Amino acid sequence: MRTPARAALVALVAMVAAACSPAGSTPPASPDAPASEGSATATPVPSGGAASASATPTPGQLDLTVPGTAEELVARLVEAAGGSDVLMVTVTATDASVVVVKNGAAQAWAWRGGRIQQIPSDVTYVAQRAFDPADFSFHDLGALFRLAESVSGSRQGQSLQIVDYSAGLVSMSVSTNPESRPVFFQPDGTLLPTLDFTSEWGLTEGYRDVVGPRVGASSMGFGSATGVYLDSVPDAGGSFQRRQRMARTPVIATPRTASETLRRFDPGRVQPAVVWSVLQELREDGAFTLDTPWTCVVEDRAGTGTPLMYFTVGERSFVTTLNGVRR
């Protein structure tokens, strides 16, 4: 049985389709009726509430900023596509589309012209990570757009996108057109924190993001410009992955090749609080200010089994133990 909210939206779809039909033409089929063979599948919009009475949609449009509407429409798009391996979700205030993997190729389905239908895809499947849109909260698309506007300063052409943006790492972000800058969100719909790498808090948060459950590293780094990064242990061919957290973006993973072999160590032995304490001592001595460029690289360059911290602060370079004691 349909809920009143779903019935309202189904009625709205029918109204939109009717508005798009030329005068005197055959009335459109019910949104619940199956499409004829060879045509795009006509699927009713999901429940979630009718569009706001203060904003009358133009023909062929729905107000996806109404809480629940975007989230449920995406679920119906995935259902219509007949695949659960989703590569991309894109939602604006009036349109939505998904890209799924079927038979090793990318297929796109979208809400267009008052119906759900397959559309040409400009995405090439190259082993991107698939995901379940239900793992991301965009229930209140309007609220996400307002948060993004407060950060970027723009609301023009806002578009939410969920996609594998870096080596299997899936992100949710809102961008604008013309582009200001993408604003990233956590899967639960909260803003991704902007990190301040001139604070113990910023270094600690960046460290947690790049390390996570990992117990092996060949190198780690902290810095005013580099943020926080972790290099995995190279394989037999010298290839490894760098996970890096910058101030305004999620962790980015990039493949690299090692020019030298460094001994593995446990990143859990490295404490961001100790890195910050070394900088604080310099600050108290007047040798460091918050606008001084600095880096700290943690490596076992001597192959002793114990990594050291190699600091460069302004024009000064020195080495400390993991406890912050100078060597």
* CB-facing half-sphere around the CA of 226: CA atoms within 13 A: 18
Q: What is the pLDDT of residues 160-212, one digit of tens each?
A: 999 998 888 999 999 998 877 899 999 999 999 999 999 999 999 999 999 99
First to last CA, the chain: 74
The two beta strands, 105-112 and 96-102, are antiparallel
**Encoding tokens for residue 226?**
């580099």
Supply the Cα-derived Rg of the chain in whole angstroms: 25
* CB-facing half-sphere around the CA of 12: CA atoms within 13 A: 24
> What is the structure's pLDDT at 60?
54
Query: Are 38 and 17 spatial neighbours (Cβ–Cβ below 8 Å)?
Result: no
Domain boundaries, the chain: 4-185, 200-320
- Determine the length of the chain: 327
Sheet holding 86-91, edge to edge: 115-119, 105-112, 96-102, 86-91, 159-166, 169-175, 183-185
Spatial CA neighbour of 233 closest among 216, 220, 245, 221: 216
Structure-token match 């089929």, residue found: 29
Query: Are 315 and 282 spatial neighbours (Cβ–Cβ below 8 Å)?
Result: no
> What letter represents residue 144's amino acid?
L
Return the H-helix or E-strand segment holding 15.
helix 4-20
**Encoding tokens for residue 324?**
């912050």
Query: Are 142 and 67 spatial neighbours (Cβ–Cβ below 8 Å)?
Result: yes
Alpha-carbon distance of 327 to 320, in angstroms, equals 5
Backbone angles phi, psi at 299, to 5 degrees: -150, 160
- Read off the DSSP letter of residue 19: H
* 42 burial level (CB within 10 Å; 0-12, 13-18, 19+): buried
Cis-peptide, bond into residue 178, ω within 30° of zero: yes
> What is the structure's pLDDT at 146?
97
Backbone angles phi, psi at 312, to 5 degrees: -130, 115
The two beta strands, 96-102 and 227-231, are unpaired
Residues of the chain with pLDDT under 50: 1-44, 46-57
65, 66, 161, 299 from 78: Cα distances, Å: 19, 20, 15, 46
> What is the structure's pLDDT at 58?
53
